[in-house]
Amino acid sequence: MPHPSRPHPSRPRPDLALALVPRPGRLSSRPGRFRLDTTTRLRVAPGAERAADLLRGYLTPATGLRLDHADDGTFVLALDPALTGLGEEGYGLTVADHGVLLRAARPTGLLRGVQTVRQLLPYEALAGRPARAIELPGVEITDVPAHPWRGMLLDVARHFQPVSYLHRFVDLLALHKLNVLQLHLTDDQGWRMPVAAYPRLTEVGGRRAESMVGPAGSDRFDGRPHGGSYTRAELAGLVAYAAARGVTVVPEIGVPGHVRSALAAYPALGNRPERRLDVWTHWGVCANVLGVGDHVLDFFRTVLDETMDVFPSPYVHIGGDEVPTVEWESSPAAIARAAREGLAGPRDLHGWFLERTADHVLRAGRRPVVWAEDGAAPPPGCTVMSWRTPEHAWAAARRGHDVVLADHRRVYFDYARGPGPGEPPAQPGHSLGLRTVYDLDLLPPHGAPEPAGKVLGAQGQLWTEFVPTPDHVEYLTYPRLCALADRVWNPDRDWPGFRARMDGHRARLTALGVPHDTLPDRAAPAPA
Ligand code: ACM
């Protein structure tokens, strides 16, 4: 619901420029406004075509304006590799009454600039409703992101989401200049990634009989089957849609734990091939993990090859989290394998399995990503995502690994947005208000040496055990994603300024149908 003191969306706001999220690095207001009308033409430099298409895609449906190219167009999209200091994603934007100049050194920078233009539009234009006058306020902006990995994970394994919704999810990431969607495609409770050589992965692994009601350990189930999987064409379409917005879709195929759906489809992958398991209907950490025979490694090489075929992302996430070793410790085959590989014992098969898998990804010319959940050395060549504590990221960075911060106490959006009452069931343990997310820190603790250049960025996570619908996805994601986006784009922390900008940005979210009410803020630090 709109806040009573919030300005009406259609009323011009003198401080509109302040309402950009994330906050541009440098912004000053200029006199004048640029009006787009039927005479407006774009001057599209070679290499700027994708940005022009994206801009038209946002503007034309709302305004009817075609914004064709003309060599003397007053809205200029310029690409100049000689522009220094803008990197891959930076851009400059000048809006004056006689014209607009959007410029970047690289095409992706123009895509980021288009999102700024989109945020400067009248809110009605965002809603797809005809606006009375399409005007942009006079501004001068120079804007470069602080971090190259600005991500959001969506878990489509616990609850499947249709690909049409994934398009919307990606477009809203792009609006906030996030540039990575990590798609959590496989888990104990469902397998969503099509693999031609192994159709049972989706046919059998893609459905479960019912779902647990309540958190891990509950004895209640809903009795409702749940399932779904994507086609290759749908995923390829998603990748293209995201690329048009400068968003990379990073696929996650987790091994050697979180694989019960694969074990249900192909029991020979397990530690007891004669055993028949169902696709898991519980939440929590499943004790069933992959067997360690060569046929299992080969199977997952095939799965990863197809995944890399569909997803051109330079990064491929291979999981690695929450791997109970009880099955290996009681399996003669696993014990023998550990001995043959010269490992101290079957527990070390966890690192061994990940190393083999990471090696396959590296040989394909991609970069494997793994979850870190202790201070142990990650496999060579892996980018590390820390989720339990940033300490694991710093430890990995000191070992020379690139790291992405994904601390559950800051950026796990499956926790409730506040302590309630009235909040829907969520992952128990913490609640994360907007302030807690905003206080995300991308630097090592005070006094610790900075692992220069090793922090790629940060990523929010939406695990979906308790999140069945797109509406619920958005309820939990927004407005917390706005705080994440602000922190990971702009290194300067300014909570009062962020709150003020959010007051304006909320009208944009309303226009786009994104929920954004905020529970009362608590300045309390995140729970330890
Ligand atoms: C995780 O939350 N197990 C990555």
- pLDDT computed for residue 450 by the predictor: 67
pLDDT at 81: 93
Q: Are residues 167 and 123 in the same domain?
A: no
Q: Which one-letter amino acid corresponds to residue 223?
A: G
**Residues found in the chain:** 528
Residues 62, 184 share a domain: no
- pLDDT tens for residues 40-75? 999 999 999 999 999 999 999 878 899 999 999 999
Q: Cβ distance 481 to 92 under 8 Å? A: no
Tokens representing 45 are: 């430099």
pLDDT, residue 518, reads: 75
Could you identify the atom of ligand 1 that is nearest to the CA of residue 322?
A: 3
Q: What confidence score (pLDDT) does residue 526 get?
A: 46
Does residue 5 lie in a domain region? no
pLDDT of the residue at 263: 98
pLDDT confidence bin for 10, thresholds 50/70/90: very low
121 and 198, same structural domain?
no
pLDDT at residue 312, rounded to an integer:
98
d(CA 123, CA 171): 16
Centre of ligand 1 to C-alpha 462, Å, is 10
- CATH code of the domain containing 50: 3.30.379.10
For the record, the structure tokens of 9 come out as 């969306």
Catalytic site positions? 187, 258, 322
Alpha-carbon distance of 382 to 315, in angstroms, equals 10
In short, whether 75's Cβ falls inside 6 Å of ligand 1 is no
Question: Within this chain, do residues 116 and 170 fall inside the same structural domain, yes or no?
Answer: no
pLDDT-wise least confident of 10-24, 62-76, 77-91: 10-24
Ligand 1 lined by 387 (C-beta under 6 Å): yes
Q: Is residue 469 part of a domain?
A: yes
**Same-domain status, 48 and 188:** no
For β-strands 226-227 and 367-372, DSSP reports them as unpaired
Whether 120 and 33 have beta carbons less than 8 Å apart is answered as: no
Give residue-wise pLDDT tens across range 329-367. Answer: 999 999 999 999 999 999 999 999 999 999 999 999 999
Helix, strand, or coil (residue 244): coil
Mean per-residue pLDDT for 13-25?
75
* pLDDT for residue 16 is more than 80: no
pLDDT above 70: percentage of residues in the chain: 94
Question: Residue 6 domain-assigned?
Answer: no
- d(CA 306, CA 162) in angstroms, rounded, equals 21
pLDDT tens string 362-391: 999 999 999 998 888 999 999 999 999 999
For residue 227, give the CATH number of its domain.
Answer: 3.20.20.80
Please give the number of the atom of ligand 1 that sits closest to the Cα of 258. Answer: 3
* pLDDT-wise least confident of 222-226, 389-393, 462-466: 389-393
- Look at residue 98 in the predicted model and tell me its pLDDT: 97
- Give the pLDDT confidence of 291-335 residue by residue, as tens digits: 999 999 999 999 999 999 999 999 999 999 999 999 999 999 999
The answer as to whether 68 is a domain residue is yes
Q: What is the 3-state secondary structure (H, E, C) of 432-497?
A: CCHHHHHCCCCCCCCCCCCCCCCEEEEEEEECCCCCCCHHHHHHHHCCHHHHHHHHHHCCCCCHHH
Q: Which band of pLDDT confidence, cut at 50, 70 and 90, is reported for residue 12? A: very low
Please tell me the distance between residue 489's alpha carbon and the centre of ligand 1 in angstroms: 24
Average of per-residue pLDDT values in the chain: 93
Question: Do residues 317 and 433 both lie within one domain?
Answer: yes
CA 462, 466, 468, 474 dihedral sign is negative
Assess if residue 526 is contained within a domain: no
* Position 447 confidence tier, pLDDT thresholds 50, 70, 90: low
Of 143, 168, 184, the domain-final residue: 143
516 in any annotated domain: no
- pLDDT at 64 (0 to 100): 85
* N- to C-terminal Cα separation, the chain: 32
pLDDT tens for 394-446 read 999 999 999 999 999 999 999 999 987 889 999 999 999 999 999 999 988 76
* Pocket mutation for ligand 1, best pick of 158, 184, 387, 412 (most atoms within 8 Å of C-beta): 387
Residue nearest to atom 3 of ligand 1 (CA): 321
Ligand 1 near 321 CB (within 6 A): yes
* Residue 376, pLDDT score: 87
Confidence at residue 522, expressed as pLDDT on a 0 to 100 scale: 47
Q: Mark whether 492 and 356 lie in a shared domain.
A: yes
Query: In terms of residue numbers, what domain contains 118?
Result: 26-143
388 lines ligand 1 (CB under 6 A): no
- Amino acid 520: pLDDT: 62
Query: Is the residue at 109 inside a domain?
Result: yes
Does 524 have pLDDT greater than 50? no
Report CA(412)–ligand 1 centroid distance (Å). 9
Q: Are 495 and 436 in contact (CB under 8 A)?
A: no
Domain end position, chosen among 83, 112, 143: 143
Per-residue pLDDT at 124:
84
Question: Which protein residue's CA is at the shortest distance from atom 2 of ligand 1?
Answer: 387
Same domain, 489 and 421: yes
Q: Determine the average pLDDT of the residues in 505-518.
A: 92
Please tell me whether residues 106 and 169 are part of one structural domain.
no
Residues 434, 312, single domain; the answer is yes
**173 and 98 housed in the same domain:** no
pLDDT value for 377: 92
Angle at 373 between CA 369 and CA 374, to 5 degrees: 120
385 lies in the same domain as 431 = yes
Over residues 145-193, the pLDDT tens digits come to: 999 999 999 999 999 999 999 999 999 999 999 999 999 999 999 999 9
Phi, psi of 345 (to 5 degrees): 180, 175
Q: Quick check: is 121 in a domain?
A: yes
Domain C-terminal end among 116, 143, 170: 143
Count up the domains in the chain and report the number: 2
Cα of 455 to ligand 1 centre, how many Å? 19
Q: Is 284 in the pocket of ligand 1 (CB under 6 A)?
A: no
- At residue 453, the pLDDT reads 84
Our mutation pick for probing the ligand 1 site, out of 285, 373, 389, counting the most ligand atoms within 8 A of Cβ, is 373
